[in-house]
């Protein structure tokens, strides 16, 4: 994948991995349209580079996704990459009545939004040279972490959809690429920790971005990072390792 002089629509671009990706893509000479819900964080990330343009959007809202697609084609007709990175993560416990709001939010943002947004923009992308759709999934696409079972399931579903999208779009010249991080040191899943302002630990964000960008530049379709490679090969062993580590 060419990673200079592109126009990249990046969801979840105001925090964590997305913020770091926005800055790195800008450094490589791309125009980045960073999406997020928090206007303060968006203003902060857009101030990092004149190549980063912020756009407030709640991807949980289907109507806002439609409005976004119409806006980006009009205001950024050179759009040639969609990077579906936004996600939310909450605790899962089927032994208790589930929180439907949180479950539905994960399904909407983590799974339906990437699918919907891609479907709204494929006709435009097909007119561009070497267009691409990039989906961020997870090592949990191959084996779940029970404590965040719904989140894990959305990543497994997005992995499956990425394969289907790749097949359906193969004759339209649109590459479909999947980035599969391990646990990364961000604030996602804050409700799982005693201090909601702490990070979850894991791979440092700069290292994740380095490996993701290297995989994109080398043309990999599945960019398996850290534990993802092991989880794909031996999901049962990784399942027991992950869930035994999280039962104390």
- Write the pLDDT tens digit of every residue in 197-235: 667 778 999 999 999 999 999 999 999 999 999 999 999
The CATH topology of domain 7-245 is: Rossmann fold (3.40.50)
* Catalytic (active-site) positions: 151
Backbone angles phi, psi at 96, to 5 degrees: -120, 155
The confidence band for 16, taking pLDDT boundaries of 50, 70 and 90, is very high
H/E run at residue 41: helix 39-46
Rounded Cα distance, 107 and 235, in Å: 23
pLDDT tens digit sequence for 32-84: 999 999 999 999 999 999 999 999 999 999 999 999 999 999 999 999 999 99
- 36 SS3 class: strand
Look up tokens 């379709």; give the residue.
221
Give residues with Cβ within 8 angstroms of 192, minimum separation 6: 89, 91, 147, 148, 200
- Angstrom distances, CA of residue 117 to CA of 123, 135, 223, 244: 11, 11, 22, 37
Question: How do residues 84-126 score in pLDDT, each as one tens digit?
Answer: 999 999 999 999 999 999 999 999 999 999 999 999 999 999 9
Q: Which one is predicted more confidently, 243 or 195?
A: 243
* pLDDT per residue as tens digits for the range 157-189: 999 999 999 999 999 999 999 999 999 988 776
Domain residues of the chain, as ranges?
A: 7-245
pLDDT at 129: 95
With a CB cutoff of 8 Å and minimum separation 6, the contacts of 131 are 80, 81, 125, 173, 174, 175
**pLDDT of 248 over the 80 cut:** no
pLDDT of residue 246: 57
Burial 92-110 (b: 16+ CB within 10 A, else e): beeeeeeeeebbeebbbbb
Beta strands in 11-96 (DSSP E): 31-36, 52-56, 81-84
Higher pLDDT, 247 or 176: 176
The pLDDT of residue 29 is: 97
Query: CA 59 → CA 122, 167, 242, distances in Å?
Result: 18, 25, 30
**SS3 assignment, position 175:** strand
Distance CA 22, CA 209 (A): 10
pLDDT score recorded for residue 189? 62
Calpha distance 200→189 (Å, rounded): 8
Average pLDDT over residues 144-154: 97
């Amino acid at each position: 994948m060419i990673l200079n002089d592109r126009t990249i629509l990046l969801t979840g671009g105001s925090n964590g991995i997305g913020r770091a990706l926005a800055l790195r893509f800008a450094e490589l000479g791309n125009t980045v349209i960073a999406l997020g819900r928090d206007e303060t964080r968006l203003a902060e990330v857009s101030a990092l580079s004149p190549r980063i343009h912020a756009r407030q959007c709640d991807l949980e809202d289907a109507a806002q996704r439609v409005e976004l697609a119409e806006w980006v084609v009009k205001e950024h007709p050179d759009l040639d990459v969609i990077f579906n990175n936004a996600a939310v993560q909450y605790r899962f416990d089927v032994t208790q009545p589930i929180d439907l709001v949180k479950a539905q939010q994960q399904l909407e943002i983590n799974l339906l939004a990437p699918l919907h947004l891609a479907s709204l923009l494929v006709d435009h992308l097909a007119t561009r040279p070497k267009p691409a759709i990039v989906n961020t999934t997870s090592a949990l696409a191959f084996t779940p972490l029970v404590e965040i079972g719904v989140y894990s399931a959305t990543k497994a579903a997005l992995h499956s959809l990425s394969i289907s999208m790749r097949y359906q779009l193969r004759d339209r010249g649109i590459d479909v690429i999947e980035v599969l991080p391990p646990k990364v040191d961000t604030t996602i899943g804050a409700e799982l920790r005693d201090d909601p302002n702490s990070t979850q630990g894991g791979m440092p964000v700069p290292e994740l971005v380095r490996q993701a960008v290297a995989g994109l530049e080398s043309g990999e379709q599945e960019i398996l990072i850290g534990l993802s490679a092991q989880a794909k090969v031996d999901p049962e062993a990784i399942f027991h390792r992950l869930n035994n580590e999280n039962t104390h």
